[in-house]
Amino acid sequence: MVKTLPGPSRLSQTLLRLKAAPRLELLGLKRLRVSFGAKEANPGTRHFLKEELPRIRFANPALEIEVDQHKDARPQPSLTVEQENGSTTVIAMEKKWSSVIVKELMDLAGGDAWAQHKAAATAAGQPILPGEEERQKALETVKLQRATRAAQPKVPERPRTGAAAMLP
């Protein structure tokens, strides 16, 4: 009897995602605070919370991370970065891809390892973050669809006939 083994477990898949390159290790930070409105969060903010924030937590277990989800108020989604020296930087998350948010955060506190990874990926012609090329293709497709719609001639309204012609 041939016994087939199941595919990779959910735990092993989760660990692969958490350990994926580049490691999102942040230096000199005391706290991260993500603030957003529950219903108004854009897709980039939601993706950052679901996919990137767990990777940041995994790479920085001692970092204090707060997520403020406002149900009543409608604040603009933002990421507040508090450094150990007391300075605070706010990264606006409104209408941004999650990869852009991660790049801004890593440029702020990624250190030498992030700079080396960025330089190596750029030199090799590879995307800096995994999945970035698919997001860029999706953005280009949306732009092309909008341009095509704008270039199409508008269909003139047909004249009313019969009983419809008498209605206001």
What are the residue ranges spanned by the domains of the chain? Answer: 14-111+124-148
pLDDT tens-place values along the chain, 168 residues long: 677 777 788 898 989 989 988 999 999 999 999 998 877 668 889 889 999 999 999 999 999 999 998 887 677 899 999 999 999 999 999 988 888 999 999 999 999 999 999 999 999 988 888 777 777 787 788 888 888 888 887 777 777 777 777 776
pTM of structure: 0.76
Maximum Cα interatomic distance, the chain, rounded to a whole number of Å: 80
Rounded CA-CA distance 64/84 in Å is 11
Candidate CATH numbers 3.40.30.10, 3.30.70.20, 3.40.50.300, 3.50.7.10; the one for domain 14-111+124-148: 3.40.30.10
Task: List residues bridging with 91 in a β-sheet.
Answer: 79
Rounded CA-CA distance 49/55 in Å is 10
Residue 63 is encoded by which pair of tokens? 């970092």
